Amino acid sequence: MRKITLLSSLFVLCLLFGFSFEIDTPYAKTSKKEHQMRVINSGIASLHARVDMIRRAKKSIDLESFIFNPDLAGKVILKELAEAAKRGVKVRVLVDKSPTAFKMNEYIAEVMKEHNLEIRYYNPAPIYKLSSVQFRNHRKLMVMDGEEAITGGRNVADEYYDLSKDFNFLDRDITVEGEVVKSMNQTFDNFWDSKLVEIPKKVEEPYRQPDVYGEDPHYRGKKYYYDKHKKFAKSLFEPDEEVEKILKVLDKEGKESFLENEKRTCPEVTFASDREGASFTESLNPEKYKAKYRLLQKEILNWMEHKIKDEVVIDTPYFLNNSVTDKLFNYLEQKKANVKLFTNSLASTDAIHVSTVFNDSVTSFNAHDNFDAFVYKGRYSGEREVHDEEVKNATWGTHSKSIVFSDEAFMIGSFNIDNRSSYYNTELAVFCSGSPELTKDVKSNIQKRMENSFKLDSDDCDVNADVGFFKQAMYYLLKIPSHLFEHLL
């Protein structure tokens, strides 16, 4: 009782005399202890890093993703996770149940359970619940043994790891070893136990239901659907020549690409994440909602205010006008700093609706003398050799989410500069300050990608160059609805 009274007295004194103190939280953790980090720009290198991390795990693997597809990349990850579980490693997988992107259905969850892999779904709201369905978990994170993590822009799907012959993403991840990994793991625990999380239900095998005519007319269709999905789910864990082939590529080309950037030391690291569990009702009070849930955006703006010097470089798939861009340009005007933006053109994006809004607003950004925009052409950047010629000749677009604040400070995470990341999706990022070497690994790669882009100015805004007829037609068809629902993009 005396201890409680003493603490209460100290709290009152803090209020009376204006003292303030920070409550330590895993959602916004800054450490001045040295961390080991490695920037990964290559997709095949990033898949190698994940496989290697799973193989080295002794106690636990926690994997969180907005998208987890049961394609080649997904099968590689599932195979390695199952092997880890056989060794006694505790494996947890958290996947967002977005109606537009979700593919890890209950059939797959059931087979995962047979292999001792736990899986849960974040926010199972159906698409007709327009208020609830908007709040997605967009974080991408994997933590090994609570000591080492990898995060960035990559989901689990072929197009993020240089494996698709149709469309691939240029993206960026970072590995982290050090004190903040505990906070990263804590936030995973909090999301795992969130009120919005669903444990997959057991899929019941259909059975005949006799009616007055003596035969269930729907049984045959239900049984066919059940058997088909059950068979596919089981096949994900069966021996697969394609999986074995890509594992050999990872062991050679993937490893070589992974080692292109060295593991380096960062003296000041911040991990920041939005909080889980947001709802439409809470968002009706914007100030309270931002203070409680939108923690990453606050950290980004803080770094912009205190770390930007002469120039800031932004790499984002989307760049839409919102509170982040407004404050960014305010800081730039105050500091007379330059901004270089690298983003997608219509030719390089799979989000045509976002392009319609960006293209109409880019001229207002170009009005700033200290603003240069580079939009990607849609062909491979040539930054390294690609293991497959068909993959190399596919369409490419940027998906990385990085900000270089100065020559020694940067951020890598899941945050897009759009309205979804600013107001609805939960996001995370890792910030590093005091490492010119790590910053160079990020900045030089962005510059390489800029070389394969159109530089826009007020006289040259041809962001629709080299676009086919169908995509052009969709672009104009989506113009009006995209602007009407811009707040959801």
Please give the Cα distance from 433 to 331 (Å, whole number). 19
Query: Both tokens of residue 481?
Result: 């609805």
100: its two tokens: 């537009």
**Ranges of CATH 3.30.870.10 domains, the chain:** 40-202+220-258, 265-488
pLDDT tens sequence across 252-308: 999 999 999 999 999 999 999 999 999 888 888 989 999 999 999 999 999 988 898
- Residue-wise pLDDT tens digits, 324-370: 777 777 777 777 888 899 999 888 888 777 777 777 777 666 667 78
**What is the pLDDT, as a whole number, of residue 214?**
57
Alpha helix stretches (DSSP H) within 215-279: 219-235, 241-249, 255-258
Answer positive or negative: Cα dihedral of 459, 463, 466, 469: negative
Q: With H, G, I as helix, E, B as strand and everything else as coil, classify residue 64.
A: strand
28-37 burial, b at 16+ Cβ within 10 Å, e below that, comes to bbbbeebbeb
Residues 36-78: pLDDT tens digits? 999 999 999 999 999 999 999 999 999 999 999 999 999 999 9
Q: In the predicted model, is pLDDT for residue 323 greater than 60?
A: yes
CA distance 450 to 407: 18
CA distances from 324 to 228, 260, 299, 305 (A): 47, 33, 11, 12
Contacts 24+ apart (CB under 8 A), 334-337: 335/308, 335/309, 336/370, 337/308, 337/309, 337/310, 337/311, 337/312, 337/370
Taking a C-beta distance cutoff of 8 angstroms, is the pair 26, 187 a contact? yes
Residue 69 corresponds to which tokens in the numbers above?
């597809």
Domain 40-202+220-258 has CATH 3.30.870.10: yes
pLDDT at 2: 39
* Count of CA atoms in the C-beta half-sphere (13 A) of 271: 31
What is the CATH code of the structural domain delimited by 265-488?
A: 3.30.870.10
Position with higher pLDDT, 19 vs 192? 192
CB 404 within 8 A of CB 432: no
Whether the predicted pLDDT of 458 surpasses 90: no
State pLDDT tens for residues 179-236.
Answer: 999 999 999 999 999 999 999 999 998 887 765 455 667 788 888 999 999 999 999 9
Instruction: Output the pTM of the full model.
Output: 0.91
